Amino acid sequence: MGMTLAADGTMPFQSLNIFGGAFLTHLRGATLDVPLLKHVYFIDTPGILSGQNQTISREYNFANVTRFIADKVDLIVLLFDTSKLDISDEYKLVLQNLKGNEEKIKIVLNKADSVDPGELVRVRGALMWSLSKIIDTPEVPKVYIGSFDGRAAKNSEILDLFKEDYVELFKELQRLPAAKNSEILDLFKEDYVELFKELQRLPSQLLARRVNDIIKRAKNVRIHALLMDEIMRGMWYKSDSQLKKQLKDEKLKGVFTEVKQRFRLADSDMPKYEAFKESAKSCPLRLWNKVDTPMLVKLEEFLMKDVAKILEHMPEDEGDTDSFKKAFRDLLLQQNIEIPEEKKKEDDKDKEKADGEKKEE
């Protein structure tokens, strides 16, 4: 149950208590005796609702919870079905709230075996176009294609496209005919390899991600302090009426522009205007203060000097731990999955044996 999970000191979920009992009553946890789970946690979200009445019935702010978790996790996988490409208002709000975590996002188009190859190309293009309108990044979002529902593929042509992927990453249950389109085969193979390499690299990149999160948090705190300080400087005296005047659109937008230009900040560094405005309106007057100059200097010294020292002592490549590699290997062997590295060793031995026989002849 959620209450127990959030109270368990051995689990990293205590911070979820800030969302109250309404959220925790909907939170569930499960533990399995799987070595892989000693290294990673998997967090799944409930289904995204489409109707306004259904979203209102939630007793907690789903978008805020998602944003809070997204800031803390190491990887975010957005799952779409080939038959359900429409993005609901709630899903759109969730995607917009992922701002600042774009580097963590991986987009997966699931159940690709349920459509023919020609339709699959059109579906992928439509999804990429839709996401580019919501996720505010100049780059076109990368979409990984596959079928991850655990059932046998329905479309044999699509299964052909995934042949090399399953051989290299999962298992070879049967010999399949060669793919009809080698270019598409190579594209899907690259998707599978890249996606699962991202998953496998998570523990080995832990230190680098933690440093990255600290830097991001420090920059956000600095910008937040500068904005609050600029708002406070526009008041004649500290009062609710003065604060309301400063939080009007014409004033607040001017504050954003002034801070951005004076401190040479990029648009992407600034907080979301509407979210900042709503939070500012709900913030009690007693919590509003001008910036603490000595503390701000220390924060800037941390960003300019201390971070560089930290990076100097970071290993270039942390590598996977032996226990993590063993967890992956054992999991694959339990499912009768052919491990790519071992398959390569067997092929090399067969080649050496064949070369030796040729020399004897």
Buried b (16+ CB within 10 A) or exposed e, 11-47: eebeebeebeeebbeebeeeeeeeeeeebeeeeeeee
**Per-residue pLDDT tens over the stretch 198-224:** 777 777 677 778 888 888 889 999 999
pTM (two decimals): 0.62
Whether residue 37 is predicted with pLDDT greater than 70 in this model: the reply is yes
Q: What is the CATH number of domain 2-205?
A: 3.40.50.300
What string of DSSP letters covers 284-309? -GGG-----HHHHHHHHHIIIIIHHH
Q: What is the CATH number of domain 207-312?
A: 1.10.268.20
Mean per-residue pLDDT, 41-53: 70
Q: What is the pLDDT of residue 223?
A: 92
Mean per-residue pLDDT, 330-355: 54
Joined tokens for residue 43 = 């967090």
**Per-residue pLDDT tens over the stretch 68-110:** 888 888 888 888 888 777 777 778 888 888 877 888 888 888 8
**Per-residue pLDDT tens over the stretch 229-266:** 988 888 877 888 888 888 888 889 899 999 999 988 88
Q: What is the pLDDT of residue 321?
A: 59
CB of 212 closer than 8 Å to CB of 72: no
